[in-house]
Chains A and B, each alone.
Chain A
Amino acid sequence: MSRFIIRRVAYMMLTMLVATLLVFSLSRVVGDPRLLYVQEGGYGLSPEAWDALGVKLHLDKPVAVQYLYWLRDAVQFDLGDSMLDRKPVSEILYDALGPTLQLAFFGWIFATAVGIPLGVLSAVKRGSIWDYLGRGVALLGQTLPVFWVGIMGILIFAVQLRWLPVGTMPDEFSFKHFIMPAITLGWFSAAGYLRLTRSAMLDVMDSEYIKLARAKGVNATVVLWKHAFRNAIIAPLTFSSLVLAGFITGAIVTETVFSWPGLGRLAFTAVDDNDFPLIVGLMLLFTFMFLLVNLFTDILYAYVDPRIRFS
Chain B
Amino acid sequence: MAEVTTTLSRPRVRVPSWQTIRYVLRRWPVAPIAILIILVIVGVAAPLFAPFDPLRVDLKARNTPPFWVPVETELRTVKQTVDKLSEEDRLNISLRNARKIKEDAAVGDVISVITTPAGSFKHLFGTDQTGRDVLSRVIFGARVSLMVTAVSLTSGVVIGVAMGLIAGYADQIFPKYGKHLDEAIMRVVEITFAVPVILVALVIVIVFGKSFIVLLGLLAFVAWNAFPRNVRAEVLTLKTSDYVALARISGASSFRILFVHIFPGVLNTVLVIATLRVGQLILIEAILSFLGAGVQPPKPAWGAMVADGREYLGSAWWIAFFPGIGIFLVVMSLNFLGDWMRDRFDPRLRQLD
Tell me if chain B binds chain A. Answer: yes
Identify the A interface with B (CB < 8 A): 26, 29-30, 36, 139, 142-148, 151-152, 154-155, 159, 162, 166, 192, 195-196, 199, 235, 239, 245-246, 248-249, 252-253, 256-257, 267-268, 271-272, 274, 276, 279, 283, 286, 290, 294
Option from B87, B290, B293, B307 in Cβ contact (under 8 Å) with A271: B293
Decide if B340 is an interface residue (CB 8 Å cutoff). no
Option from A139, A159, A256, A290 in Cβ contact (under 8 Å) with B196: A290
Question: Which residues of chain A are near B317, meaning CB under 8 Å?
Answer: 155, 159
B199 touches A148 (CB 8 A): no
The A-contacting residues of B in range 176-207, CB under 8 angstroms, are 194, 196-199, 202-203, 205-207
Question: Which residues of chain A are near B291, meaning CB under 8 Å?
Answer: 252-253, 256, 268, 271
13 other A-B residue contacts (CB within 8 Å) besides A139-B335, A143-B332, A151-B309 = A143-B335, A145-B290, A147-B290, A147-B306, A148-B320, A155-B320, A159-B313, A159-B314, A249-B198, A252-B291, A256-B290, A267-B202, A271-B205
Decide if B56 is an interface residue (CB 8 Å cutoff). no
- Alpha-carbon gap, A268 to B293, bound state (A): 10
Question: Which residues of chain B are near A245, meaning CB under 8 Å?
Answer: 194, 196
A142 touches B328 (CB 8 A): no
- Alpha-carbon gap, A257 to B324, bound state (A): 14
Decide if B266 is an interface residue (CB 8 Å cutoff). no
- Alpha-carbon gap, A290 to B350, bound state (A): 27
Please give the distance in Å from A138's CB to the nearest CB on chain B.
Answer: 10
A145 touches B314 (CB 8 A): no
- Alpha-carbon gap, A271 to B205, bound state (A): 8
Measured CB to CB, the nearest residue on chain B to A146 is B287
Question: Which residues of chain B are near A274, meaning CB under 8 Å?
Answer: 206
Measured CB to CB, the nearest residue on chain B to A166 is B87
- Alpha-carbon gap, A36 to B320, bound state (A): 34
Decide if B327 is an interface residue (CB 8 Å cutoff). yes
The A-contacting residues of B in range 264-317, CB under 8 angstroms, are 279, 283, 286-287, 290-293, 303, 306-307, 309-310, 313-314, 317
Please, how many residues of chain B have a CB less than 8 angstroms from a CB on the other chain? 37
Question: Which residues of chain B are near A283, meaning CB under 8 Å?
Answer: 199, 203
Annotate B310-342 by CB proximity to A: 1 below 8 A, 0 otherwise.
100110010011001001100110010000000
User: Please, could you name 16 A-B residue pairs with CB atoms under 8 Å apart, sorted by A?
Assistant: A139-B335, A143-B332, A151-B310, A151-B313, A159-B317, A162-B87, A166-B87, A253-B290, A256-B290, A268-B202, A268-B291, A271-B203, A271-B206, A271-B292, A283-B203, A286-B196
- Alpha-carbon gap, A49 to B268, bound state (A): 59
Question: Which residues of chain B are near A196, meaning CB under 8 Å?
Answer: 352
Question: Which residues of chain B are near A290, meaning CB under 8 Å?
Answer: 194, 196
Question: Which residues of chain B are near A151, meaning CB under 8 Å?
Answer: 306, 309-310, 313, 320, 324
A152 touches B206 (CB 8 A): no
- Alpha-carbon gap, A294 to B194, bound state (A): 10
- Alpha-carbon gap, A272 to B207, bound state (A): 12
Measured CB to CB, the nearest residue on chain A to B315 is A159
Option from A144, A162, A166, A279 in Cβ contact (under 8 Å) with B328: A144
B205 touches A249 (CB 8 A): no
A192 touches B352 (CB 8 A): yes
Measured CB to CB, the nearest residue on chain A to B197 is A249
Please give the distance in Å from A7's CB to the nearest CB on chain B.
Answer: 18
Please give the distance in Å from A296's CB to the nearest CB on chain B.
Answer: 15
- Alpha-carbon gap, A192 to B196, bound state (A): 17
Measured CB to CB, the nearest residue on chain A to B293 is A271
Measured CB to CB, the nearest residue on chain A to B314 is A159
Measured CB to CB, the nearest residue on chain B to A188 is B283
Please give the distance in Å from B305's CB to the nearest CB on chain A.
Answer: 10
Question: Which residues of chain A are near B352, meaning CB under 8 Å?
Answer: 192, 195-196, 199, 235, 239
A143 touches B207 (CB 8 A): no
- Alpha-carbon gap, A231 to B287, bound state (A): 36
A142 touches B202 (CB 8 A): no
- Alpha-carbon gap, A56 to B303, bound state (A): 40
Measured CB to CB, the nearest residue on chain B to A200 is B352
A145 touches B87 (CB 8 A): no
- Alpha-carbon gap, A162 to B90, bound state (A): 13
Question: Which residues of chain B are near A159, meaning CB under 8 Å?
Answer: 313-314, 317
Question: Which residues of chain A are near B207, meaning CB under 8 Å?
Answer: 26, 29-30, 36
B327 touches A148 (CB 8 A): yes
Measured CB to CB, the nearest residue on chain A to B193 is A242
Question: Which residues of chain A are near B324, meaning CB under 8 Å?
Answer: 144-145, 148, 151-152
Measured CB to CB, the nearest residue on chain B to A27 is B207
- Alpha-carbon gap, A154 to B307, bound state (A): 13
Contact flag A139-B310 (CB < 8 Å), given A248-B199, A249-B197, A253-B291? no
Question: Which residues of chain A are near B292, meaning CB under 8 Å?
Answer: 271-272
- Alpha-carbon gap, A142 to B338, bound state (A): 13
